[in-house]
A and B are shown apart, each in its own frame.
Chain A
Amino acid sequence: MIEMANLPRNNNHIPIDSIVFKGYKSGLTLIIPETGSFEEYMDALRKQLDQSKDFFKGAKITLKTGNRQLLDEERAFLLQLIKDAGMSVQRTTDDFETPKKEKTKRQIDQKNLIPSITIRKTVRSGQRIEYEGNILVLGDVNPGAEIIATGDIVVLGKLRGTAHAGAKGDVLAEIYAFQIKPVQIRIAGVFTRAPEKEREKETRYFGPEVAKIRDDQIVVEKATQNYFNQKYKY
């Protein structure tokens, strides 16, 4: 039993009839008042429960805290009181949403969550997409089209146009595509174009490719199945 003296005090008086139990189809719900002294509420609740001891015994109730945020000690005290009266809490509901951002932040660190834009079509000649973040294209990038991102560029199709990743100077930016045969590729400040000769038909690799800077030059390599797993595992 937690000592009443440890709980924070404030001076709003809680009348005994503010103890609200509501009967719903799902069972009994105890609605905790959203404002007012918790201590006084506990006093009033205890008195109520004492008066109707047998009525509540064995009841499985829902706790509704609304917009009130209970401190850990307050919550523990309340649960104990309920238990002493022979009731159990089957669930708690509240009215505030946990902002989703907070949730993802706790699971993945900030620097690996990058705003991205997705283009759900082939980008055609004469079209230009610029974005502060990563760009994902679900389709091809045709010759004459331009994709400019401050982050990475991912083309789930053939990259045949012009792509500029790391447009604000990020030399670690990369460009991925099922096939990289561009008019021009740029990463940060480095430019390059496709090699003059077509690759030999036999050694032709038909799979995802990645373009990145190595030793101040842009290189295009295979991006095999384990590419990301290896690169970003930690």
Chain B
Amino acid sequence: MSGKVIVVTSGKGGVGKTTTTANIGAGLALRNRKVVLIDADIGLRNLDVVMGLENRIVFDLVNVVEKTCKIKQALIKDKRFENLFLLPAAQTREKDSIKPEQMKELCEELCKEFDYIIIDCPAGIEQGFKNAIAGADQAIIITTPDVSAVRDADRIIGLLQAHEIPAPRLIVNRVRQQMVRKGDMMDIDDVNDILAIELLGVVPDDESIIVSTNRGEPSVMESGTKAGTAFRNIVARIEGEEVPLMSLDYDLGIFDKIRRFMKK
């Protein structure tokens, strides 16, 4: 069995790469896939916190690459799932502690054991980014619907093209449908008019993410949250299912509802 290596990247910081990595990973694991998450943000690691696994870190990515320990020793098994593992980043080292070739080798090794290897890419376009994409054979771009993030995402898409990674797919995160309707926020079509890549999913802005992040419990684990549902749909699409985009109009106020009713 050969695994798929997916890098989750964005260019801009704070748009939801780590949250998405955690949720996609957990979502795939809920479908009985063997998944390993790699935090490639050396020096500013966060994936462990978001997964609630920070207390169990003994060895990290840099240890593995420097051969201080075996891969198995560094992998942390998430006890809530059948087959979900985390390879955390180092917190006290820097991005130049590993080289792209080393990442590539590591991914090839992990491909033998796992169905999915998901890499949480750091923000930026320098060494950290180059390391994170080195072993990838697919990419997911995360952006929020605002001009800065889209500009950065566009840059990243250009760089992925130059590194010959096949066409990435897009997740538009933190969409506020009310604002879109008022014209205060970019529409998905506006975003993809510039980025022009396949849309993988849309995740609405949801307060429950703040809660789940702080608790270390990825949203996909519980039902009933909008973001959780969106991520579950994204996971289904990654697995090849055709899932229509969620309607984001649930936050209509009473007057909007009446108005709509009248229009019919």
Interface residues in chain A, defined as those with a beta carbon under 8 Å from any beta carbon in chain B: 122, 124-127, 140, 142-144, 160
Contact = CB atoms under 8 A, between A and B. Distances in A.
A143 B158 contact: no
Contacts of A126: 154-155, 158-159
Nearest to A144: B151
22 contacts: A122-B196, A124-B154, A124-B155, A124-B157, A124-B158, A124-B161, A125-B151, A125-B152, A125-B155, A125-B158, A126-B155, A126-B159, A127-B158, A140-B194, A142-B154, A143-B147, A143-B151, A143-B154, A144-B151, A144-B154, A144-B155, A160-B194
Contacts of A143: 147, 151, 154, 194
A127 B162 CA distance: 10
B187 to A, nearest CB: 15
Contacts of B147: 143
Interface in B104-156: 147, 151-152, 154-155
Pairs of residues from A and B, 9 with the lowest C-beta to C-beta distance, nearest first? A124-B158, A125-B154, A126-B155, A125-B155, A124-B154, A142-B154, A144-B151, A127-B158, A125-B151
Question: Do most interface residues of chain B lie in helix, strand or loop, or is the interface mixed?
Answer: helix
Given A140-B194, A143-B151, A144-B155, 7 more contacts: A124-B155, A124-B158, A125-B152, A125-B154, A126-B154, A126-B155, A143-B194
A197 to B, nearest CB: 15
Interface residues of B, number: 11
Of the candidates B147, B152, B194, the one having the most CB atoms from chain A within 10 angstroms of its own CB is: B194
B190 to A, nearest CB: 12
A126 B194 CA distance: 14
Contacts of B196: 122, 140
Interface string B156-198: 0111010000000000000000000000000000000010100
Query: Majority SS of interface residues in chain A?
Result: loop
Nearest to A158: B193
A124 B152 CA distance: 10
A158 to B, nearest CB: 8
A122 B167 CA distance: 13
Nearest to B159: A126
A217 B148 CA distance: 30
Contacts of A142: 154, 194
Contacts of A122: 196
B126 to A, nearest CB: 13
A127 B155 CA distance: 8
A162 to B, nearest CB: 13
Contacts of B155: 124-126, 144
Contacts of B154: 124-126, 142-144
A160 B154 CA distance: 13
A167 to B, nearest CB: 22
Nearest to A127: B158
A129 B159 CA distance: 15
Interface in B182-226: 194, 196
Contacts of A144: 151, 154-155
B189 to A, nearest CB: 14
Contacts of B161: 124
Nearest to A183: B151
A125 B159 CA distance: 10
A201 to B, nearest CB: 12
B231 to A, nearest CB: 27
Contacts of B194: 140, 142-143, 160
A74 to B, nearest CB: 59
Contacts of A140: 194, 196
A143 B159 CA distance: 15
A179 to B, nearest CB: 11
Nearest to A161: B154
B29 to A, nearest CB: 34
A144 B153 CA distance: 11
B242 to A, nearest CB: 27
Nearest to B154: A125
A124 B194 CA distance: 9
A83 B7 CA distance: 79
